[in-house]
Chains A and B, each alone.
Chain A
Amino acid sequence: MEKITSPYKWGMIVDLDRCTGCGACVVACQAENNVAICAKKEMAQGRNMHWLRIERFWVGEYPDVRVRFLPVLCQHCHDAPCEPVCPVYASYHNPDGLNGQVYNRCVGTRYCGNNCPYAVRVFNFYDHEHAWPPPLDNQLSPDITVRPRGVMEKCSFCIQRIRRAKEDAKAEGRLIRDGEVQPACAQTCPPEALVFGNMADPQSRVSRLARSPRRFRLLEHLGTHPSINYLKGGGREHV
C-alpha cells in the first residue's frame, strides 16, 4: 500500500513580538468557521467554543507589570496524540500535514480532547442551533457545516480555503503560490503576527521565518512535532 504524498505541508508562524493581543484573529475565526457564539453561562462553565484562544499572562509586580499574549490554536502536530486514540477515525492525519476532524464520524467519546496537551479541542456540549436565530443565519459560511451537539471540533487551518485554492490552482495547472491561501486568522491579523504557508517549500515565508533563531515550539518536550512555530526574543526578553 503506497503512502499518499502531497507537495504541501502546511505550517504557521506566530510571532509573539508582534502580537498585541487584540483578538481580531479570534473573531475572524469565529466568523469564517461557523463557530458558535457562547452565552456568559457557557463561558463560566468552561464550555466556550473558541477554536483559537489568546492566553494572557501578567508578569511582574506593580508598577512594573507587563502582559504577555500567547495565541494558541490547533498545532496540527505531526505526531498528534489526539489521532490514534479516536476509536472511529474521526481524527486523522491528512497528507497535507493537517490534523483532520471529520464531524459526521465523531461519536463524542472526547478521548481526543483529553489527550490533546494544548487543550485546543472543543466539544459541542450544547446544541448551538439557537446561536444563529434568523436573520443571523445568513452570516453562516456555506463552505463549512454547522456542527451538531455531541461532536468535537477544532481549528482546521481553514481547510475550506485551502480546498478552494487547490481547486483554483489545479484549474490553472500549477501549485498554490506562497501567500495565496490565508486562514481567516492570518488574513485578519493587523501586525501580521500570524503567517501561514507551505513548509515543504523552503523559499516560502513560513519556511524562512521558521529558520529564525527566535523559534520555539509549545510543549516541545512531549514530542508532538507541531506545525506551528512561535517566535519570541527580539531583544525584549525582560518583557
Chain B
Amino acid sequence: MSEHAIAEKSAQQLNDEMLSSMCTPTWRWYGLAFFLGAVVAWGLSAFAYQVMTDMSVTGLDRPVMWGIYIANFVFWVGLSHSGTMVSAILRLSQANWRRPILRAAEAMTVFSITIAGLFPVIHLGRNWAVYYFIPYPNQRGLWPNFRSPLLWDATAITTYIIGSSLFLYLGMLPDLAVVRDRSTGWRQKLYAVLAMGWRGTAREWVVFRKASTLMAALIIPVAVSVHSIVAWDFAVTVIPGWHSTIFPPYFVIGAITSGVAAVITLMIIIRRIFHLEEYLTPLHFDNMGKLLLVICLLWSYTYFVEVQTTWYAHEPIEWEVFSFMSGKYTPLLIIMLIGNSVLPVTGLCFKKVRRSVRAMLVITAMVNVGMFIERYLIIIPSLSHKNMPFVWGTYSPSWVELSVTAGAFAGFTLMYTLFAKFFPMVAVTDVRELGHRHADIRLGRAEVHSITEEEG
C-alpha cells in the first residue's frame, strides 16, 4: 500500500483492516486448528512410542547415529533466523517497507526456535535423563561439560528463545494496547495485562523506540552466534565432510536464506487469508525478493567454495563422502541445487517475477524444500562413509521419525494459527506511523510525496 493510501484512511479503518484476523473464529479456522492438532497428536504419539519402546524404532544404526531428527533441528534453527534478520536488519536500516512484515517474521522466529529446541530432547536415547544437561548445584558431584558443543547449543538456544520472545513481545506492546482498547470481556482483561498499562504517552514512545532499536541491535549477534554454534556441532568433529571451517558462515547464510524465503511464503499466505492485499503489496514482495536474491547468491557461493575445496585437495576420505552423496542421493542433490540456487538466482533477477505473488510462492517454497534437503545431505552422507570402510552404512528415516517431523511442521503451523487469532498479525501502530510521517509537498511544478525520517 502506498503511504498515500495509508494517510487517507482513517485510523479506525486501518485498525479494522489490519486486525481483521482477530475476529471470532469461523468453522474453517476450527477445522484447520483441529486438523493440525490431529497431526501434532499423531507426532506426539509416535514420539511416546519411541520413548516407551527403544531407539530401534528409528532408522538409526552404526555409523549413522544422527538422522532426520538432527536435520530437523538444524532446519528449524535456520528458519528461526527469519524474524531476526528481516525484522532486526530492516529496523536498523530504517527501511519503511518493513512495517507490515515485522510481526509475521518475529512470530515465525519464536515458534521455529521453540520447535527446534524440542529436537535435542527428542533424539536422546534416554530422554528422561535430559536434566543432566541443566547446570544446577546437585548431589551427583558433576556439572555438565561445557566443552561439548551440545552445551553451547543449549545455552545459545535458551538465550535465543528468551531474546526473540522478548523481541516479539516488545514490538507488540503498543499493538496490544490498541487491541485492548477495542475489546471487551475476558479478552479486554487479557490484553490489559499484556499491555502493561501502556498509554502511548510521548515519553513512552521515546523509550519504546530506543528499546526497539537496542533490541534489534542485540538480537542480530545472538542469531549469528546461535547458528554458528549449531554449525560447530559438526565442524569441530573429526568426521570427513563435517570438519570444515566454512561451516559456521555457511550455516548462517543458509539460515538467512531459509528464513527470508519462509517469511515471504508466510506473507503470501496471511495476505490471502486475512485479506491484507492493500498492506502487503507487490512492492514488499519486490524488495523481499531482492533480499532473497542476494542471500541465495551468497548461499550458492559458499556451497561452491565448499565443494571446490573438497574437489581440488581431493583428500581420499573427503572426496569419498562427496561422491557417495552425489551418487546415492542424486535426485535430492539436484532438487536442492535447483531450489536453492538455480531457480531463485535466475527467477528473482526479474522485476516481473518478484512482483508476481504466484511466482514468489513457488520460488520460496522450493527454497525451503531445498534447504531441508541440504541439512539432510550434510548430516547423513558424512556419517555413512566415515573413516573406517568396514563400518560404512546407510540410513533411511523410519515412520516414527517421519511422523515426528510431520508433527513438528504441524505444530509450528498450529502455533501460528493460534497466534494469528489472538494477537495482531500486522504491526498496526507501525504501519499507522507511516501515515503520520507522510506529507505531500509542493516542490516546483509538482506535488511530491515525502516521508519524514525517523529520529536518529
Q: Do chains A and B touch in the complex (CB under 8 A)?
A: yes
Chain A residues in contact with chain B, CB under 8 A?
42, 45-48, 53, 55-57, 70, 72, 81, 84-89, 105-111, 113-115, 117-119, 121-127, 148-152, 219, 222, 224
Interface residue B356 (Cβ < 8 Å from any Cβ of A): no
B129: chain A residues at CB < 8 Å are 107-108
The interface bits of chain B over 147-181 (1 if a CB of A lies within 8 angstroms of the residue's CB, else 0) are 11111001000000000000000000000000000
Is the CB of B197 closer than 8 A to any CB of chain A?
Answer: no
Among residues of A, the one whose C-beta sits closest to the C-beta of B130 is A107
Majority SS of interface residues in chain B? loop
Asked if A107 contacts B387 (CB within 8 A), the reply is no
Q: How far is the CA of A80 from the CA of B304 in the complex (A)?
A: 32
Q: How large is the interface on B (under 10, 10 to 19, 20 to 34, 35 or more residues)?
A: 35 or more
A-B contact count (CB 8 A): 145
Instruction: Choose among A56, A72, A106, A149 the residue that contacts B388 (Cβ–Cβ < 8 A).
Output: A72
| List of B residues within 8 angstroms of A224 by Cβ | 238
Interface residues of B in 367-424 (CB under 8 A from A): 383, 386-388, 390-391, 393-394
Residue contacts A-B, CB under 8 angstroms, 21 given? A45-B56, A47-B62, A84-B147, A85-B150, A106-B125, A107-B124, A107-B126, A109-B123, A109-B150, A111-B150, A114-B63, A114-B66, A114-B239, A115-B237, A117-B238, A118-B388, A124-B125, A125-B55, A127-B53, A150-B54, A219-B387
| Assembled-state Cα–Cα distance A115/B65 (Å) | 10
Taking a contact as CB atoms closer than 8 A, the residue among A88, A110, A119 that contacts B391 in the complex is A119
Query: What residues on B are CB-neighbors of A87 within 8 Å?
Result: 132-133, 144-145, 148, 150-151, 154
Chain B residue nearest in CB terms to A55 = B390
Q: Inside 8 A of A45's CB, which chain B residues have their CB?
A: 56, 61
Does B313 reach chain A (CB closer than 8 Å)? Answer: no
Q: Taking each of A45, A53, A122, which has the highest tally of chain B beta carbons within 10 Å of its own beta carbon?
A: A45
- Give CA–CA (A151, B65) in the complex, Å: 12
Q: Convert B89-100 into 0s and 1s, putting 1 for each residue whose CB lies closer than 8 angstroms to a CB of A.
A: 000000000000
| Nearest opposing residue in chain A for B61, CB measure | A46
Residue of A nearest to B234 (CB): A114
Cβ-defined partner of B237 (8 Å) among A70, A81, A121: A81
Task: Using A108-B125, A109-B150, A117-B387 as known contacts, say yes or no to A125 and B133 having CB atoms under 8 A apart.
Answer: no
Q: Which residues of A contact B65 (CB under 8 A)?
A: 110, 113-114, 123
Docked Cα-Cα span, A114 to B124, in Å, equals 14
A107-B129, A115-B239 as given contacts; A122 in contact with B62, CB under 8 Å: yes
Given contacts A89-B145, A107-B124, A150-B126, contact A119 B386 (CB under 8 A): yes
Contact B149 A85 (CB under 8 A): yes
- Inter-chain contact B238/A110, CB cutoff 8 Å: no
How many Å lie between the Cα of A110 and that of B125 in the bound state? 8
Please pick, from B58, B144, B237, the residue contacting A114 in the complex, using a CB distance under 8 A. B237
Cβ B125 vs Cβ A119 within 8 A:
no
CB closest chain-A residue, reference B129: A107
- Besides A53-B391, A56-B390, A87-B150, 15 other A-B contacts (C-beta < 8 A): A48-B62, A85-B149, A87-B154, A88-B145, A105-B142, A108-B125, A110-B125, A114-B63, A117-B239, A117-B386, A117-B387, A125-B56, A149-B54, A151-B126, A222-B238
In the bound complex, what is the Cα–Cα distance between A32 and B424 (angstroms)? 65
* Contact yes or no, B238 A46, CB < 8 A: no
B237 and A88 form a contact (CB under 8 A): no
Q: Which residues of A contact B62 (CB under 8 A)?
A: 46-48, 113, 119, 121-123
With both beta carbons as reference points, the residue of chain B lying nearest to A122 in the complex is identified as B62
Contact among A105, A107, A114 with B125 in the assembled complex (CB-CB below 8 Å): A107
Query: Which residue in A86, A108, A126 is a CB contact (below 8 Å) of B56?
Result: A126
Tell me, in angstroms, the Cα distance from A47 to B391 when the chains sit together.
Answer: 11
CB distance from B31 to the nearest CB of A (A): 39
CB distance from A136 to the nearest CB of B (A): 20
CA distance A122 to B76 in the complex (A): 29
Q: Quick one: which of B124-142 are within 8 Å of A by CB?
A: 124-127, 129-130, 132-133, 142
CB–CB A88/B133 < 8 A: yes
Is B60 close to A, CB under 8 A? yes
Choose among A115, A148, A150 the residue that contacts B124 (Cβ–Cβ < 8 A): A150
Q: 10 closest pairs, A vs B, by CB?
A: A108-B125, A150-B125, A46-B61, A150-B126, A110-B65, A87-B150, A55-B390, A149-B54, A87-B148, A119-B391
Are B63's CB and A119's CB within 8 A? Answer: yes
B-side contacts of A85, CB under 8 Å = 147-150, 236-237
1/0 per residue, CB under 8 A from A, across B42-73: the answer is 00000000000111101011110110000000
A89 with B55, Cβ < 8 A, contacts A55-B388, A119-B63 known: no
In angstroms, Cα B53 to Cα A126, docked, is 8
Output the least CB separation between A225 and chain B (Å): 13
User: In the complex, what residues of A have CB within 8 A of residue B386's CB?
Assistant: 117, 119
Query: From B395, which residue of chain A is reached at the shortest CB distance?
Result: A46
Most chain A CB within a 10 A radius of its CB, from B54, B55, B62, B233: B62
Q: Which residue of chain B has the shortest Cβ distance to A126 in the bound complex?
A: B56
* Contacting pair A125 B63 (CB below 8 A): no
Enumerate chain B residues within 8 angstroms of A117, measured Cβ to Cβ: 238-239, 386-388
With A89-B145, A126-B54, A150-B124 in contact, is A105–B63 under 8 Å at CB?
A: no
Q: How far is the CA of A109 from the CA of B390 in the complex (A)?
A: 24
**Chain B hits for A88, CB < 8 A:** 132-133, 142, 144-145
- Chain A nearest CB: distance from B268 CB in Å? 38
**In the complex, what distance in Å separates the CA atom of A113 from the CA atom of B62?**
8
Given A114-B65, A119-B391, A222-B387, decide whether A47 and B145 contact each other with a Cβ distance below 8 A.
no
**Chain A nearest Cβ from B200, distance in angstroms:** 47
Which of A105, A106, A108 gathers the greatest number of chain B CB atoms within 10 Å?
A108
- Nearest Cβ on chain A to B152's Cβ, whole angstroms: 9
Check A118–B150 contact: CB distance below 8 A.
no
User: Given contacts A110-B66, A113-B65, is CB(A53)–CB(B144) below 8 Å?
Assistant: no
